[in-house]
Amino acid sequence: MKKIISLIAITLLVVQFTACKKDDKALTIKNDGLVNFLTGNVSIVLDNKTVKANVGDKITQGMTIITGKKSVVDIYFEGSVIKILENSSVIMKELTKNLSDNKELTELYVQNGKMFSQVTRKLTENEKFRVSTPTAVAGVRGTEFLVDEENGRSKISCVDGTVSVKDAQEDDSTMIDVDDGKSATIEPGKPIEINELSEAEIKTIRGIKDEIKTLREDIRRKFEEQREEIRQHVIDQKAADKSRVEQQKASDKANVEAIKEASKAQVEAIKGDVQDTKQNVSAAVSNLNKPDVSAVKPDVSSSGVKPDVSSGVKPNVQSFKKDVKPKTED
């Protein structure tokens, strides 16, 4: 019985722990982006399936965005916007948001080509906006910068604010800051090279900025709708999780009751077996102590042996009387 009680306690603890885990997990959601503008040939790849991109498409974690020649695409997120230029391939490595503290975690991977990033607000502690390439990593805290990856050589140009860069093979302790108006060139096996942006580079980047219509009213409205969808999804998910927990508790309770009933029946069966065994042992002991004399008792009625009284053999009473005389006194 103690083992059964321990099993019940462990089961309930596991159910409660699982429910807590589900609640924690529900707080972290995907921070989807939205295609606001595109021109030319732009494709979205997900799970080895390629589809043509369209304005209004949701961009989610795990997708790869590919642009063809003379093709560009603007993608808006809640706290940032990116512009992927022609002949580029960019992977959405991480697009998540924690609703409990409203912190965003964004990581993009430029396989090749060019991508301009504009973080529209200053990131707080533990938030992340990181762009990596095969050769470099750039992390920001509220800035505008252009990443250009070509043939294993990365160039990161900072337009506004500060961007921290490092070689992709090094750890974060080697990060160095690149201020606005400067660029960092990173090649494998070479020191990071910091240079001033040329007038032509500045003009190009300014042109990119002018093309971006940051958080227009329609985009803001779409994000508000998306946020409401996310909020409702979280509410529904919590309700579903709660329902599953209640169902699990009910199922566990039923299982516990079934175990109790089965154990009770088993105990009663054992008691019955023990009682039967006691009776059998008592009967065996009784038979062992009482000898069976039925086999040695002579059967007088069936043997035919009777005393022979017809033979004339009688005791000589008279003679006995004669011999026994009373003794008299002289």
Interior angle at CA 227, CA 223 and CA 228, nearest 5: 120
pLDDT tens, 85-118? 999 999 999 999 887 777 889 999 999 999 999 9
Say if strands 33-39 and 72-76 run parallel, antiparallel, or are unpaired. antiparallel
- What CATH code is assigned to 31-213? 2.60.120.1440
CA distance 246 to 16: 10
Q: What is the pLDDT of residue 314?
A: 56
Indicate if the pLDDT at residue 22 is higher than 50: no
Beta-bridge partner residues of 110: 90
183-187, 189-193, 208-212: the lowest-pLDDT one: 208-212
Tokens of 233: 């999804």
Cα of first residue to Cα of last residue in the chain, in angstroms, is 102
HSE, side-chain direction, 13 A CA sphere, residue 260:
9
Q: Are 29 and 99 in contact (CB under 8 A)?
A: yes
Residue 25 gets the label, from left (phi > 0), alpha (psi -120 to 50) or beta, of alpha
282, 300, 278: which is closest to 290 by C-alpha? Answer: 282
Q: What is the pLDDT of residue 174?
A: 92
Beta-bridge partner residues of 57: none
Across the chain, what does the average pLDDT equal? Answer: 80
The CA distances from residue 200 to 33, 128, 196, in Å, are: 31, 30, 11
pLDDT tens, 307-326? 555 555 555 555 555 555 55
Q: Where are the domains of the chain?
A: 1-29+216-280, 31-213
The number of residues making up the chain comes to: 330
pLDDT tens, 42-91? 999 999 999 999 999 999 999 999 999 999 999 998 878 999 999 999 99
Residue 36 — φ and ψ, nearest 5°?
A: -100, -30
Q: Is 131 exposed, middle or buried (0-12, 13-18, 19+ CB in 10 A)?
A: buried
Tokens of 64: 């790869």
pLDDT tens, 200-241? 888 888 888 877 765 555 666 666 776 677 778 778 888 888
90-94, 132-136, 296-300: the lowest-pLDDT one: 296-300
User: Which of residues 301 and 207 earns the better pLDDT score?
Assistant: 207
Q: Are 57 and 32 in contact (CB under 8 A)?
A: no
Indicate if the pLDDT at residue 19 is higher than 70: no
Q: Around Cβ 67, how many Cβ atoms within 10 Å?
A: 25
Q: Are 208 and 202 in contact (CB under 8 A)?
A: no
